């Protein structure tokens, strides 16, 4: 697969995954390792010169939006999804969530802890949001799926209803994506045509516009991890645009510039 060139955008930072911008602490949390590439990814990963004529291209039976939105395609990226677990959806034996200073935040069901340490942020039953602070905390429980010990920050739900991203800004469902910030710097608006027009329950269809506000230690290279906000939405998107099947990443699309973040 072609390696996408890093984008240089005014007002955003392009730093290695282990670093942070001048604002925020960064997440750097580990989510589910990517599965092998889906069968359609290799078939789609053609340089622009080899794509079929524009009028012949469709996605899921719909006209390919790339023919009208303009912009600059970076090619096919691996696609995955992450969401926002709620403590109220879990029960069973409990463990403590700890701050980086080894102070307890809350005692929560073990199953919620095990989801939270993979997704990075979650909602507490007592109110408030918790979000990744740092890894390798000696006082924290081990995350079964990553082997890491994660500590958290307790955040004001009114300011961070869905948690905090690597840029230090609130992340938002179906707007925020995590990416390798050496490829797609924090604050970069992107257009994903495969998601354009997908209907959302109780809301407007997606317009395909997202912004890079997060990163993950296993989100590397040509990979975008889309924040869905809920497991239900993750399941729905996986049915329509399956994980690891590949999505086209387009930058410099006029209709997405409203999401540009100057960090």
Residue 158 scores a pLDDT above 80: yes
User: Does residue 52 form part of some domain?
Assistant: no
Tell whether 217 is covered by a domain.
yes
Residues 111 and 192 in one domain: no
111 near 130, Cβ under 8 Å? no
Q: 78 and 102 share a domain?
A: no
The rounded distance, in Å, linking the Cα atoms of 29 and 84 is 14
The answer to whether residue 2 sits within a structural domain is: no
Q: Is 116 strand, coil or helix? A: helix
The reply to whether 139 falls in a domain is yes
What's the domain range around 250?
69-83+166-259
Same domain for 213 and 229?
A: yes
User: Do 233 and 251 fall into the same domain?
Assistant: yes
CB-based burial label for 6 (10 Å; 0-12, 13-18, 19+): middle
What radius of gyration, in Å, describes the C-alpha atoms of the chain? 18
Query: What are 173-206's pLDDT values in tens digits?
Result: 999 999 999 999 999 999 999 999 998 877 789 9
Asked, for residue 131, whether it belongs to a domain, the answer is yes
Which run of H or E residues covers position 237? helix 231-240
Q: Domains in the chain: how many in total? A: 2
CATH number for the domain harbouring residue 211: 2.40.40.10
User: Span 68-89, mean pLDDT?
Assistant: 91
- Output the furthest CA–CA distance in the chain (Å, rounded): 60
- Shared domain for 79 and 100, answered yes or no, is no
Contact of 81 with 46, CB cutoff 8 Å:
no
Residue 263: which pLDDT band, with cuts at 50, 70 and 90?
low
Does residue 147 contact residue 135 with C-beta atoms inside 8 Å? no
Number of neighbours of residue 243 by Cβ within 10 angstroms: 18
The candidate with the shortest Cα–Cα distance to 208, out of 111, 65, 76, 73, is: 65
Give percent of the chain with pLDDT exceeding 70.
73
Structure confidence at residue 261 (pLDDT): 79
Residue 110 belongs to what H/E stretch?
A: helix 110-119
18-72: pLDDT as tens digits: 323 322 333 333 334 444 444 444 444 434 333 333 333 454 555 454 445 678 9
Pick from 155, 175, 206: which residue ends a domain?
155
The last residue of a domain, from among 155, 177, 205:
155
What pLDDT, on a 0 to 100 scale, did the predictor assign at position 64? Answer: 53
- Residue indicated by tokens 């889309």: 226
Assess contact for 130 and 144: CB atoms under 8 A.
Answer: no
- Residue 233: inside a domain, yes or no? yes
The C-alpha atoms of residue 91 and residue 99 are separated, in whole angstroms, by 22
Instruction: Choose the final residue of a domain: 155, 189, 209.
Output: 155
Instruction: Say whether both 144 and 200 belong to one domain.
Output: no
* pLDDT for the residue numbered 201: 77
Comparing 123 with 43, the larger pLDDT belongs to: 123
């Amino acid at each position: 697969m072609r390696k996408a060139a890093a984008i240089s955008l005014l007002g955003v930072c392009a730093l290695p995954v282990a670093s942070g911008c001048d604002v925020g602490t960064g997440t750097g949390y580990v989510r589910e390792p990517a599965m092998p590439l889906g069968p359609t990814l290799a078939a789609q990963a053609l340089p622009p010169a080899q794509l079929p004529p524009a009028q012949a291209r469709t996605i899921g039976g719909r006209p390919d939006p790339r023919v009208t939105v303009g912009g600059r395609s970076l090619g096919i990226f691996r696609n995955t999804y992450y969401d926002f677990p709620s403590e109220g959806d879990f029960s069973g034996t409990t463990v403590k969530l700890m701050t980086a200073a080894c102070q307890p935040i809350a005692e929560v069901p073990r199953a919620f802890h095990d989801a939270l340490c993979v997704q990075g942020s979650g909602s507490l039953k007592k109110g408030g949001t918790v979000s990744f602070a740092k890894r390798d905390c000696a006082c924290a429980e081990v995350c079964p799926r990553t082997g890491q010990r994660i500590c958290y920050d307790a955040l004001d739900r009114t300011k961070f209803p869905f948690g905090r991203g690597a840029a230090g800004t609130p992340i938002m469902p179906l707007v925020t994506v995590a990416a390798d910030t050496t490829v797609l710097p924090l604050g970069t608006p992107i257009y994903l045509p495969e998601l354009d027009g997908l209907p959302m329950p109780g809301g407007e269809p997606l317009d395909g516009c997202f912004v890079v506000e997060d990163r993950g230690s296993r989100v590397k290279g040509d990979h975008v991890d889309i924040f869905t906000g809920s497991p239900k939405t993750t399941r729905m998107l996986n049915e329509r645009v399956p994980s690891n099947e590949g999505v086209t990443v387009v930058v410099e699309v006029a209709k997405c510039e409203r999401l540009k973040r100057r960090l």
